[in-house]
Amino acid sequence: MNLGLYVLASLVFLLDLVDLMVRLYLRRQHTSRLSPGQVSPTSVVLSLGTFTPHEMETYLQPFALIASVHNAMGDLERFVTSIEPFKAHVWVIDDKSSDETAAWIQEKGIRCIRSGRNQQKPGALKMLMALLPRGIETIVVLDPDARILTPPEEFIKVLFEFQRSGMAALCPRISAAGQSWLARIQRLEYWMAFSIGRKSLADFSITSGVAVYRAEALRRVLAEHTLSVYAEDLENSLILLANGDTIYYDGRLLVETDAVGTASRLFSQRVGWHYGLMKVYAERWRTLGPRARGNLGFAYQFLIYIGVFVLVLHPLKILSLVLLAFSAANGVDNVLGLHMVPDNRVTNGLYFPIVYLEYLGLMLFVSMVAVGRAEQRALLTIVPLYPLYALVHVVPATIGYLNWFIQRCGGRRIYRDHYQPV
């Protein structure tokens, strides 16, 4: 076995291994001020004093739950049920639906403003924010397919502490609902992304599509935002962070969204995600330099991880996937005795099983440190598929990046994802 080719074949695994070790270290550093045995639910320890539930409810500043909807009839029943305890605080903007979405929402007694044109989420929210009463201090941005699972009393506590923290935004924990293998693998992916990824980022976290903002901060963001739907949450975060604002993660605020139901839809989603990542990062990475110089964790996340691990090294990930494909094909060829794939150092049949077993061991460890105990057993059965799931993601990522490069050169995209306007 050629050592250089083996390292190249293992590249995706090695980068994920390094990233995991760094994030576990950062998470421990940022959340270690609690007494032994206690685990902070937030990415920074909040020292805000002790208040009774009555005091928190009394001193809670005005807040609003807002959402942009478009042809969302299939999601509305569960959405309305989840926000029922806070119905008086809900504002919805209908982004020119062609179905009965707006009428249905209004029948349920929820304030619904109708937009005269389809603007997509950032543009619609900007319009809605201009119409909200100025006394509202805190904004919870929701999606129509999102359901708040946190009990009302805990929800009030999270908002109260957020208001007292003085930070600009809060990222909740997102969970993917569903029982299919595709839903369960996305749920495992989300567990890792939030309980390790977001939680390792202290007060420079990244918001999700569902997030909590200071109203003034969200207005500033939307004034500078490109209003593109691509990676709109990442763009929100980079605008805030570049201006010196702070964002933290709070795992107590749990929001459930539907997992993507089909492989083709998931492929399209991930193409769009990576196109958006490339677009937003290319536009804004230079604004992060001053803050990165004073914070190693910030520099790791936004310059080393996104800039180098995710983007600069991506061509090597493509070569890694090609090597693993050759190795897997040769392994099957040898088992079946077909002798159709030549045996050489490039097609060595050991690369694929070794990398797979390495990745499997990593994922078993991650599932122990990232997933809540109540779900560990249920998600353990999906872990053997995760190495393949992670490796195959190189394909939609590549197409997403190519879409950005080709469009920048004045050409048409090679793949139309479902975020792309008609």
Of residues 263 and 32, more confidently modeled: 263
If you average pLDDT over residues 64-93, what whole number do you get?
92
Q: Assess whether pLDDT exceeds 70 at residue 340.
A: yes
Beta-carbon contacts of 251 under 8 Å, excluding residues fewer than 6 positions away, are 41, 42, 172, 173, 194, 195, 199
Name every residue whose Cβ is closer than 8 Å to that of residue 319 and which is 6 or more positions away in sequence. Answer: 8, 11
**Confidence at 33, pLDDT banded by 50, 70, 90:** low
Question: What's the CA angle centered on 394, arms 367 and 238, to 5 degrees?
Answer: 80
Helix residue ranges, H only, 10-139? 11-30, 53-59, 73-83, 101-107, 120-131
Which residues are CB-contacts of 390 (< 8 A; sequence separation ≥ 6)? 12, 16, 359
Q: Residue 7's Cα: distance from chain center in Å? A: 29
Residue range 191-220: mean pLDDT, rounded: 96
Say which range, 30-44, 136-150, 254-268, 385-399, has the weakest mean pLDDT.
Answer: 30-44
- What single DSSP character describes residue 243? T
- The pLDDT score that the predictor gives to residue 338 is 81
Q: What is the mean pLDDT of the chain?
A: 93
- The predicted pLDDT at position 374 comes to 84
Judged on CB neighbours under 10 Å (0-12, 13-18, 19+), 149 is middle
Distances (CA, A) of 20 to 183, 189, 347: 23, 13, 29
Taking the C-alpha atoms of residue 110 and residue 272, their distance in angstroms, rounded to an integer, is 32
Cα–Cα distance between 232 and 234 in angstroms, integer?
5
Report, as an integer, the average pLDDT of 288-297: 92
CB atoms within 10 A of CB 71: 16
DSSP for 145-174 reads: TEEE-S-HHHHHHHHHHHHHHT-SEEEEEE
How far apart CA 311 and CA 96 sit, in angstroms, is 36
CA 371/CA 379 separation, integer angstroms: 8
Q: How confident is the model at residue 149 (pLDDT cuts 50, 70, 90)?
A: very high
pLDDT at position 196, please? 96
Bridge partners of 360?
Answer: none
- The rounded distance, in Å, linking the Cα atoms of 413 and 405 is 9
Would you place residue 177 in the very low, low, confident or very high pLDDT band (cuts 50, 70, 90)? very high
Radius of gyration of the chain from Cα atoms? 23
pLDDT at 34 over 60: no
Q: What is the pLDDT of residue 31?
A: 83
Query: Using the 8-state DSSP alphabet, how is residue 204 labeled?
Result: B
What's the pTM value of the predicted model, to 2 decimals? Answer: 0.93
CA–CA gap between residue 267 and residue 264 (Å, rounded): 5
What domains can be seen in the chain, in order of their start residue? 1-37+263-422 (no CATH), 41-261 (3.90.550.10)
Mean pLDDT across the stretch 80-88?
Answer: 92
Taking the C-alpha atoms of residue 422 and residue 419, their distance in angstroms, rounded to an integer, is 9
Element (H, E) at 390: helix 386-392
pLDDT at 20: 96
Predicted confidence (pLDDT) at residue 371 exceeds the cutoff of 70: yes
Of residues 321, 234, 319, 246, the one with CA closest to residue 280: 234
Given a contact cutoff of 8 angstroms between Cβ atoms, the answer to whether 362 and 370 are in contact is: no
Element (H, E) at 402: helix 394-408
